[in-house]
Structure 1
Amino acid sequence: MQISARNKIKATVVSMAEGIVNEKLILLTSRGAQLSSVITSESAKEMSMQEGDTVTVLFKASHVMLSSTKVDGISARNQLAGTIDNVIKGIVNTEVTLLTDTGEAIVSIITNESAKELGVVPGNKAVAIIKSTDMMIAK
């Protein structure tokens, strides 16, 4: 199967918090970053999800927000600091590749206006912010 999500990261399920409707997964990437994902309990059951499982975390580039620094007081659970590696400016949007401090490459699509306001250029520091509910899990 091929999938259009630009971000695909291998990880291990470190812990699971089971709920009636959803389950919260804490994941550790192969490079050492911690991620949080929320999936439906039914999906976890269908995949026979267990702690220790190796999974692929998938999320769309358009679901990755960027900030110049870590943000306190935000509901998004995943904040990964790094350095901007590549920038491709389009007519409306800019594609930004961030190389995280632990070595994961994360692709974000933001508006050209946001890219300009944030000073998005290769070599600058940035933080990728992704909601737990935007992270899909493949097993």
Structure 2
Amino acid sequence: MYYNSRRCYYSEPVNYYPRMYEEYYPYRNEPIIKEPNVGNDSGSGDSGMGLSARNRFRGVVTDIKMGSVVGEVLVDLGCNHLASAVITTTSIRNLRLRVGSRVNVVIKATSVMIRKTGDSDSDFSARNQFPGTVTEVNAGDVVGEVIVDIGCGHIVSAVITTTSINNLGIKIGSKVSAVIKATEVMIMAGN
């Protein structure tokens, strides 16, 4: 092979050694594991679009506050759960959002913070605070997943450090709040 900064010529094909893919992709032959239902998405009406975000909730837009660059969209998820999303005004227009629009609220599990109930009664600037009960804790070496039941069939998944899980003493049955900044909430138009 000849290489210089302007051109790259291959004089012969690259020979990959036989087991290369097994070393770089060790999980390629493992079966796909169906994850438990998180959020309130029953699987129907998902437009066939797969998302890696664990938290998806269906709701209805109740208010839109438009600014010059961004706007705030309030979505009623039912059972006194109101989600706030700060998205660009361009997105609000492109999604044709109106009061009464049916939307999906999407939140990555890594964007969810966990606050133990009663730890600090000080005000918090994050708009989305959903109190609930921990139903599952999967602690890993560095990070873990905390599953919180916030009522009415709404389940929130949070990925936080294992150190935080241990420092907060989070275990099954702990009373916590799932906290999400409005800028971390995505809106997906649809049924």
Is TM (by shorter chain) over 0.5?
yes
Give the Cα–Cα distance (whole angstroms) in 2 for the partners of residues 116 and 110 of structure 1.
11
Q: Does the CA contact (< 8 Å) of 1:32 and 1:102 recur in 2?
A: no
For 2:145, the equivalent position in structure 1 comes to: 95
Matched AA of 2:182: S
Contact 1:31 1:103 in 2 (8 A): no
The residue aligned with 2:122 is 72
Structure 1: gaps of 5 or more residues: none
One-letter code aligned to 2:58: K
Partner of 1:27: 75
Q: How does 1:115-126 map to 2 (within 5 A)?
A: 115-126=165-176
When you count strand as a share of all residues, which structure comes out higher? 1
Query: Alignment length, in residue pairs?
Result: 139
Q: Deviation of residue 31 (structure 1)?
A: 3.6
Question: Partner amino acid for 2:150?
Answer: T
Opposite residue 158 of structure 2, the aligned amino acid is: S
**Alpha-carbon separation, structure 2, partners of 1:119 and 1:100:** 19
Give unmatched runs, 5+ long, in structure 2.
1-48
TM-score, L = length of structure 2: 0.70
1:119 deviates by 1.2
Aligned residue runs from structure 1 range 51-70, under 5 A: 51-69=99-117
Tell me the C-alpha RMSD between the 2 structures: 1.3
Mapped partners of 1:43, 1:66: distance in 2 = 29
State, as a whole percentage, how many aligned pairs show the same letter: 34
* Cα pair distance change 1:101/1:62, threshold 3 Å: same
Higher relative contact order (CA 8 A, sep 6+): 1
Paired with 1:106 and 1:73, the residues of 2 have a C-alpha distance of: 21
Q: TM (normalized to structure 1)?
A: 0.95
Find the aligned partners of 2:122 and 2:183 in 1 and give their Cα distance.
Answer: 19
Query: Shift in Å at residue 75 of structure 1?
Result: 1.7
Match of residue 113 from structure 1:
163
Q: CA deviation at 1:102?
A: 4.2
3-state secondary structure, aligned to 2:92: helix
The offset of 1:86, in angstroms, is 0.7
Q: Distance in 1 between matches of 2:86 and 2:98?
A: 14
Distance 2:103 2:80 in 1: 14
Deviant stretches of 4+, over 3 Å: none
